[in-house]
Copies of this chain bind each other. A is one copy, B any other.
């Protein structure tokens, strides 16, 4: 590591401890909120984006139901009421745990406590060259890129005179049968069957072929077996062609190879594995097989107790099993870490983190979902209404509930999708902004 110029030094007269939080996802944001306006700490919240993203609804942007701004809130806006929180827009490039420094392009930032909550990106199982042909769905740019590809494919199908190309345009392959993959496949089927059906003159969007490829034995494998089965039936009802225990062995510009069968498809979407942020490589601590940092029961690093790792970036165990990479886990971890920091500053011992599982849900098209909490299981319309209610309530914090609710009412009641915009990224003569 090169020596870091410290531009963001601590003020000697300031007796407060500085907590630097990297990443304003569910984990980082909840930690920052918990520390907000607490005497004794100042907080620097760093993210390379200026917004916090409600990732579970990204597939709704990709399928033109919601706009980017409906599921994203400016971080500064969220932090405005906490005078002791400073938001720093930038990419963390270096970590110097020995000298307690975080490196950004603007220089080093000194910390007393460090919370790493950088999340995860897609993993192509050692085939990064597949990414251009099969984008994932973790960022807003990816969501609008997918929206562009999906809508353009229908346009191309309408225009082309070549029946082979038309079929490839109307074939969509989703790789991975977890919540993102299942929800995307369902939403795609919904669009083709209900939204676009009267839009075209030469093609019938109902001819759309949606293939969901899952290497495992069932879709939504984190749910109980009967709910997986119900989700499978719901997908089949929507006309989705689900291929279980099949493996994608090749992805290129013309389509995918599944086992020994070739599927010509202009649009391929990756919803399979994830891997944590590259920052873990700089920690010098033990990582699990997926690359997540192995943390102590209080979510700190054994080698550096003032450094915490949470969310998708961490491997935390409970009852002998690693916790899943879900928003509620990250959220609760952020809160727990912040509380432990405050306890320690008050002279109290830290407490181990305990995840409280409120259950899980996934929606498959309109009026279909699966949900389970404890022993209670819901399916069909009831599960979907529960999904809708919980998501609207959750989005209350986003201050976008009015807009999202009205979009949804509109969309579900009239089968319209307002965000059906094809916006190519060709306005490029203005130069590269760099990733900030």
Query: In the complex where A199-B74, A199-B77, A416-B399 touch, is A421 in contact with B68 (Cβ < 8 A)?
Result: yes
Q: Indicate if the CB atoms of A422 and B399 lie closer than 8 Å.
A: no
Q: Which residues of B contact A328 (CB under 8 A)?
A: none
* Closest beta carbon of chain B to A17's beta carbon, Å: 18
Q: Indicate if the CB atoms of B151 and A90 lie closer than 8 Å.
A: no
Query: In the complex where A198-B81, A422-B51 touch, is A141 in contact with B427 (Cβ < 8 A)?
Result: yes
Q: Which residues of B contact A72 (CB under 8 A)?
A: 421
Residue of B nearest to A132 (CB): B430
Q: Indicate if the CB atoms of A69 and B435 lie closer than 8 Å.
A: no
A38 at the interface (CB under 8 A from B): no
- CB-contacts of A138-163 with B (<8 A): 139-142, 144-145, 148, 151-152, 155, 158-159, 161
Q: Indicate if the CB atoms of B418 and A407 lie closer than 8 Å.
A: no
Q: In the complex, A387 Cα to B270 Cα: how many Å?
A: 46
**Number of copies of this protein chain within its complex:** 2
A425 at the interface (CB under 8 A from B): yes
Q: In the complex, A132 Cα to B201 Cα: how many Å?
A: 39
* Closest beta carbon of chain B to A158's beta carbon, Å: 8
Q: Which residues of A contact B (CB under 8 A)?
A: 7, 49-51, 67-70, 72-74, 76-77, 79-81, 86-90, 106, 131-132, 135, 139-142, 144-145, 148, 151-152, 155, 158-159, 161, 196, 198-201, 399-400, 402-403, 406-407, 409-410, 416-436
Q: In the complex, A421 Cα to B429 Cα: how many Å?
A: 21
Q: In the complex, A145 Cα to B431 Cα: how many Å?
A: 11
Contacting residue for A406 out of B140, B403, B419, CB 8 A: B403
Q: Which residues of B contact A145 (CB under 8 A)?
A: 427, 430
Q: Which residues of B contact A81 (CB under 8 A)?
A: 198
Q: Which residues of B contact A79 (CB under 8 A)?
A: 199
Q: In the complex, A76 Cα to B151 Cα: how many Å?
A: 11
Query: Which residue among A88, A417, A427, A431 has the maximum number of chain B CB atoms within 10 Å of its CB?
Result: A427
Q: Indicate if the CB atoms of A69 and B419 lie closer than 8 Å.
A: yes
Q: Indicate if the CB atoms of B424 and A399 lie closer than 8 Å.
A: no
Q: Indicate if the CB atoms of B422 and A50 lie closer than 8 Å.
A: yes
Q: In the complex, A76 Cα to B191 Cα: how many Å?
A: 14
User: For chain A, what secondary structure do more than half of its interface residues adopt (helix, strand, loop), or is it mixed?
Assistant: loop
Besides A87-B201, A142-B427, A425-B425, 11 more A-B contacts (Cβ < 8 Å) are A50-B421, A67-B69, A76-B196, A77-B420, A81-B198, A140-B423, A141-B423, A402-B409, A402-B410, A424-B433, A424-B434
Q: Which residues of B contact A423 (CB under 8 A)?
A: 68, 140-141, 144
Contacting residue for A436 out of B131, B152, B399, CB 8 A: B152
Q: Indicate if the CB atoms of A424 and B436 lie closer than 8 Å.
A: yes
Q: Indicate if the CB atoms of A427 and B425 lie closer than 8 Å.
A: yes
Q: Which residues of B contact A420 (CB under 8 A)?
A: 50-51, 69, 74, 77
* Closest beta carbon of chain B to A110's beta carbon, Å: 16
Q: Indicate if the CB atoms of A399 and B406 lie closer than 8 Å.
A: no
Query: In the complex where A159-B106, A399-B416, A436-B422 touch, is A76 in contact with B428 (Cβ < 8 A)?
Result: no
Q: Which residues of B contact A77 (CB under 8 A)?
A: 199, 416, 420
Q: Indicate if the CB atoms of A426 and B432 lie closer than 8 Å.
A: yes
Contacting residue for A67 out of B68, B139, B155, CB 8 A: B68
Q: In the complex, A159 Cα to B90 Cα: how many Å?
A: 9
Contacting residue for A402 out of B89, B144, B406, CB 8 A: B406
Q: In the complex, A239 Cα to B51 Cα: how many Å?
A: 28
* Closest beta carbon of chain B to A368's beta carbon, Å: 24
* Closest beta carbon of chain B to A433's beta carbon, Å: 4
Q: In the complex, A87 Cα to B202 Cα: how many Å?
A: 10
Contacting residue for A407 out of B403, B427, B429, CB 8 A: B403
Q: Would you give 9 A-B contacts (Cβ < 8 Å), ordered by A?
A: A50-B420, A50-B422, A67-B69, A70-B418, A74-B199, A399-B410, A399-B418, A402-B409, A426-B432
Q: In the complex, A171 Cα to B158 Cα: how many Å?
A: 47
